[in-house]
């Protein structure tokens, strides 16, 4: 496995799978893993940085990169970095999550041909974000 493919499989794709999931699946996953909203924002920011790096090597489609950057902008507009609440609560309060979901699905379709992907089982330990 190349390093570029490793970035996709280990970091970007799992983040997008969570963002692309149906709202009910996102809520269940967020509650199960007790994920804070800021952790989601940081994960997307990290994914954008990785995607920019591999896009520069022509291994990440320009359209997918633009969509991923748009996801990052939407999260910035929701000001998630200042939010210490649980992601499950934030999902219910921001209408922009629907747009984030659509963009994440588009990226997965371009990259994988299908947006429905298994949700990751592991997340960063919560104390990292507390």
Q: Please state the φ and ψ torsions of residue 114, each to the nearest 5 degrees.
A: -155, 140
Quick one: pLDDT at residue 95? Answer: 82
What would the pLDDT profile of 19-69 be if each residue is shown by its tens digit?
999 999 999 999 898 888 888 888 899 998 988 888 877 777 888 889 999
Question: Where are the chain's structural domains?
Answer: 3-128
SS3 for 23-58 is: HHHHHHHHHHHCCEHHHHHHHHHHHHHHHHHHHCCC
Taking residues 108-113, report their average pLDDT: 92
What would the pLDDT profile of 70-82 be if each residue is shown by its tens digit?
999 998 888 765 6
Quick one: pLDDT at residue 116? Answer: 94
CA 56 – CA 21 distance, rounded (Å): 28
Q: How confident is the model at residue 123 (pLDDT cuts 50, 70, 90)?
A: low
Quick one: pLDDT at residue 92? Answer: 81
């Amino acid at each position: 496995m190349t390093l570029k493919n490793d970035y996709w499989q280990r970091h970007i794709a799992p983040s997008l799978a969570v963002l692309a999931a149906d709202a009910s699946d996102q809520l269940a996953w967020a509650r199960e893993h007790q994920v804070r909203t800021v952790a989601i924002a940081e994960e997307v920011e990290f994914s954008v940085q990785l995607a920019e790096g591999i896009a520069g090597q022509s291994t990440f489609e320009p359209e997918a990169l633009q969509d991923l950057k748009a996801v990052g902008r939407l999260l910035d507009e929701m000001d998630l970095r200042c939010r210490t609440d649980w992601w499950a609560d934030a999902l219910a309060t921001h209408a922009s999550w629907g747009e984030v979901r659509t963009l994440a699905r588009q990226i997965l379709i371009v990259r994988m041909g299908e947006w429905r992907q298994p949700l990751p089982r592991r997340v960063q330990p919560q104390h990292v974000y507390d």
